A = this chain, B = another copy of it.
Amino acid sequence: MTERKPVGIGLVGFGTIGAGVVKVLQRNAEVIEQRLGFPLRLVRIADIDTATDRGVDVSHLRFDADSDGLIRDPEVDIVVELVGGYDFARKLILGAIDAGKHVATANKALLALHGKEIFDAAARQSVEVAFEASVGGGIPILRSLREGLNANRIESVHGIMNGTTNYILTEMEKTGEAFDVVVKRAQDLGYAEADPTFDIEGIDAAHKLTLLVAMAYGAELTYKEVPTEGISDLAPIDFDAARELGFRIKLLGIAKARRGEDGSERIEPRVHPTMIPATSLLANVDGAMNAVAVTGDIVGRTLFYGAGAGELPTASALVSDLIEIAREVRRGGAGRVAPLSYLPGELGPKPLIPMGEIVGRYYLRFTAVDRPGVLAHITSVLGEREISIESVIQKERADSAGSVPVLIMTHPAREWAIRSALEIIDRLDDVTAPTVLVRIEEEL
């Protein structure tokens, strides 16, 4: 029967995730065909390293370094881009689109920076660019935003979207160990890369949040507009304090919409370590797992949980994209659903809310010389800016330099007031290290 003719897949970038995709296509070929009606056939692989054994049998496939040939191969209907990075991946994807191929990718960094160029090119060529695997690993969060929750105005998104940092935070909390110790162990276990900057500084989470914000609000933006703070300033004492106060600390990607009285919408995107109520579901997402909480005006609060990274979970998402695109290939269509949820003509820049305008409670860890009057000095600077204090925890453990941590939880305050106070306080003679700030999100 002609309808059983397979749809052809070409894979560029045969690393961990690529090997996972090959495994899934081999292992679950039968169940995929029972759902799809015809096979997905991997027809060729391109990678500059053709020597390493990836633990999957690809002897029956064409496997060489010729990615140019792959994207022009008439047997290839869908190009899977798993090269990562910017330049080569961008050229590859644009080349594949130009050759009339559909594309599936896990490359959030590229899409967060060059998404507009890529989606515009795909729209012109009437091909799909699918990227479920780029956010939340195996969690079908992009599909859920785009199709499951599309009757809603999205009010907020709160996501644990980086498994490496969630592993580090969970371990620091559990063991009481210092940041560097835990990062080292994460590296030894393969949970963190040799250069963990993208993860621990929140850049990877900001890439993912950029894509979610576009889909949630139709906001055209790049990740550079997302205020981003990492987790490297956190110390064991912060986790102890969080526990005492009924919170846990998570690196969250947050986006909220605020609607003005004139109906205009402003977006508040940000990535930073956050104290959230210990009883919330999000607070109980541990280790390398991910979760995204989405609040819609109609549906209320939802949450999507699963493995945020790893060979197989990421391949689960990527192959779901292949199945969806293959249906379009077979029907001779494309563009059924707008990739960023809003039709391209509806996407545009949205006004952002400056970080200084956000209001919330703050956890502040001051490091000060253990001397009478220091606390009074700090609190008077806060008081001058009308920042009122909810609680003070002063731990009696001076470090070798004779400094002690002073932990303050504020009542709701505006961030500009907090920052202005810290600018003064961090220059006081008695304050010996930059103050660490953790924002608090209550409504989770």
Chain A 283-309: CB-based contact to B (< 8 A → 1; otherwise 0):
011000001000011111111111100
Please tell me if the beta carbons of B144 and A323 are within 8 angstroms of each other in the complex: no
Please tell me if the beta carbons of A316 and B149 are within 8 angstroms of each other in the complex: yes
Smallest Cβ distance from A268 to chain B, in angstroms?
Answer: 18
Given A34-B346, A143-B143, A279-B284: A151 and B319 within 8 A (CB)? yes
Task: List residues of chain B with CB within 8 A of the CB of A346.
Answer: 34-35
Residue of chain B at shortest CB distance from A25: B151
Please tell me if the beta carbons of B316 and A152 are within 8 angstroms of each other in the complex: yes
Please tell me if the beta carbons of B302 and A35 are within 8 angstroms of each other in the complex: no
Task: List residues of chain B with CB within 8 A of the CB of A359.
Answer: none
Most buried by B among A151, A299, A319, A337: A151
Smallest Cβ distance from A435 to chain B, in angstroms?
Answer: 34
Please tell me if the beta carbons of B313 and A299 are within 8 angstroms of each other in the complex: yes
Most buried by B among A281, A307, A337: A281
Decide if A138 is an interface residue (CB 8 Å cutoff): yes
Decide if A228 is an interface residue (CB 8 Å cutoff): no
CA distance A291 to B327 in the complex (A): 29
Decide if A230 is an interface residue (CB 8 Å cutoff): no
Of the residues B36, B284, B297, B343, contact of A37 by C-beta under 8 Å: B343
Task: List residues of chain B with CB within 8 A of the CB of A149.
Answer: 140, 316, 320
Most buried by B among A147, A218, A322: A147
Of the residues B31, B312, B333, contact of A331 by C-beta under 8 Å: B333
Task: List residues of chain B with CB within 8 A of the CB of A336.
Answer: 327, 331, 336
CA distance A343 to B140 in the complex (A): 21
Of the residues B132, B152, B324, B343, contact of A28 by C-beta under 8 Å: B152
Task: List residues of chain B with CB within 8 A of the CB of A324.
Answer: 147
Residue of chain B at shortest CB distance from A336: B327
Decide if A121 is an interface residue (CB 8 Å cutoff): no
CA distance A198 to B206 in the complex (A): 46
Beyond the given pairs A34-B218, A37-B343, A148-B317, 14 more chain A to chain B contacts, judged by CB atoms under 8 angstroms and listed by A's residue number, are A24-B151, A35-B150, A35-B338, A35-B343, A138-B296, A138-B300, A139-B302, A140-B143, A140-B144, A140-B149, A148-B320, A298-B312, A302-B304, A302-B306
Q: List 26 A-B contacts (CB under 8 A).
A: A27-B298, A31-B153, A32-B151, A35-B338, A35-B341, A36-B343, A37-B343, A138-B302, A139-B302, A143-B143, A144-B144, A147-B147, A147-B324, A149-B320, A151-B315, A151-B322, A279-B284, A281-B281, A298-B312, A299-B313, A299-B316, A300-B307, A302-B307, A303-B303, A327-B337, A331-B336
